Amino acid sequence: MDTSSIAIGVLLMLLFVGPIMYMILKQNNQDKNRLKNLKNISNQHQLELNEFELTNSLLLGLDSRAKKLVVVEPLNNMQYNIIDLNAVKVSHVSKKGLPQVNGTKGDPAITHISLDLLQKNSKENAAEIVFYDEDDDTSYNVETQMFLANKWDRLIRSNIPT
């Protein structure tokens, strides 16, 4: 092999691998910044998060000792809500869907997945945590978001005092 063949091979490899490496580094940086923001919010409220989740449209953190849930919406100017799980009576995953035109008739096409937390004192929602919304272009696929919603439902249920 001569030098020009090696140079062309290295150049082509950089041309194809370079953008992928850039995207990976960019995503890692974004995740670090989001985690830092979540930890800053928890530190401001003297919370120690032992569980957390980072997605494009949602940051979640749970302090099981203090029974507090931190919900941050990065797309909404990093607005956050701290939910006291002592005031929550019920947690359940809510799905909304439309009938499918193509495909299995019994399975609706899911358009919205949320985790609803109901207050002890009333039938009002303490919070609605949206994991998937068809109109939101930052959501991952439905199955992934359904898995995350069920995971957080189990975590919250285990931390709701009875």
Q: Which residue has the higher pLDDT, 3 or 106?
A: 3
**pTM for this structure?**
0.79
Share of the chain above pLDDT 70, in %: 90
Question: Nearest-5° angle of CA 128, CA 134, CA 140?
Answer: 85
**Contact between 72 and 54 (Cβ < 8 Å):** no
**CB hemisphere CA count around 60 (13 angstroms):** 22
Strand, coil or helix: what is 133? strand
Mean pLDDT over each residue of the chain, to the nearest integer: 85
How is the chain split into domains, by residue range? 3-159
Hey, what are 9's tokens?
């091979």
| Count of residues making up the chain | 162
53-90 per-position pLDDT tens digit:
988 888 999 998 999 999 998 878 888 889 888 888 88
CA-wise closest residue to 58 among 127, 119, 120, 159: 127
Calculate mean pLDDT across residues 124-147.
79
